[in-house]
Amino acid sequence: MMEQRLAARLPLALFTVNTKTGEVKVIHRSTDWLNHLEFSPTDPTLLMFCHEGPWHKVERIWLMHTDGRHVTKVHTRTMAMEIAGHEFWSSDGKTLWYDLQTPRGEVFWLAGYQVETGERTWYQLSRDEWVIHFNVSHDGTLFCGDGGDPGQVAKAKEGQWIYLFRPELIPNRGIVDKSFVNAGVLHAEKLVNMAKHKYRLEPNVSFTPDQKWVVFRSNMFGQTYAFPVELARAAAN
């Protein structure tokens, strides 16, 4: 379906609706498959969207202003089968984070793009620690993830966990060049065993505003429920 939909080149338009007046404005037209619109949490005139399709065939992540100006590609592929996606905003609206694989299913990163400066930060993680969805805490100091089973792109054998990640940048001992990627690693802590979860339902994860809990959904007991896991208690265990 993804291949066929991408090849169809159907005309699409992005539009805004003024909820006070009902005015509709078309802000972008394309025959690419456009999807996944998210406003900046701090700038209502800045919009993230994606070019949808098989990730190894599209330049997925884009930014634009709601007046139709400044359409900007966030990530450019540098190798065959490189993929990037599941993009999301930091709470302060300064960074776009996304899953990056160089190439697909082999080397795994959580990548960040600074909207104002264009600077980049990539945190590496292992195959078993790759997750379908990442999320970031309100203060930007922690990340979480929902894991994945062997049927996902990482084919992880021990990846069925809700994870907490602590980022660590590698000290720069060389030339300071803002065009370079700032590299780091994610240190993983296992929060919840998801071995009984069926990953056709993606758990998704988010921090509560006080950063004391990670919330996710699961079918580990049959039906789908929402669950919180307390970070302090998980660390104590």
Report whether 188 contacts 164 (CB < 8 A).
yes
Does 4 reside within a domain?
yes
pLDDT at 235: 67
Distance of CA 220 to the CA centre of its chain: 24
Q: Are 49 and 34 in contact (CB under 8 A)?
A: yes
Q: Count CB atoms within 10 A of the CB of residue 33.
A: 18
> CA-to-CA distance for 237 and 217, rounded, in angstroms?
22
Total tally of structural domains belonging to the chain: 1
Mean per-residue pLDDT for 193-220? 97
**38 domain residue, yes or no:** yes
pLDDT digits (tens, 9 = 90+) for 155-181: 999 999 999 999 999 998 887 888 899
Cα(163)–Cα(5) distance, rounded to whole angstroms? 34
In a domain, 137, yes or no: no
49: alpha, beta or left? (left if phi > 0; alpha if psi -120 to 50): beta
Question: What single letter denotes the amino acid at residue 160?
Answer: Q
Whether residue 29 lies inside any domain: the answer is yes
Average pLDDT over the chain reads 95
User: Is residue 60, in this structure, part of any structural domain at all?
Assistant: yes
Classify residue 78 as left (phi > 0), alpha (psi -120 to 50) or beta: alpha
Which structural domain range is residue 54 located in?
A: 1-73
pLDDT tens per residue across span 126-140: 999 999 999 999 999
Using one digit for the tens of pLDDT, what is the confidence trace for 46-69? Answer: 999 999 999 999 999 999 999 989
- 14 part of a folded domain: yes
Residue whose token pair is 């979480």: 144
Give the three-state DSSP class for 215.
Answer: strand
Using a 10 angstrom Cβ sphere, with 0-12 exposed, 13-18 middle and 19 or more buried, the burial of residue 170 is: exposed
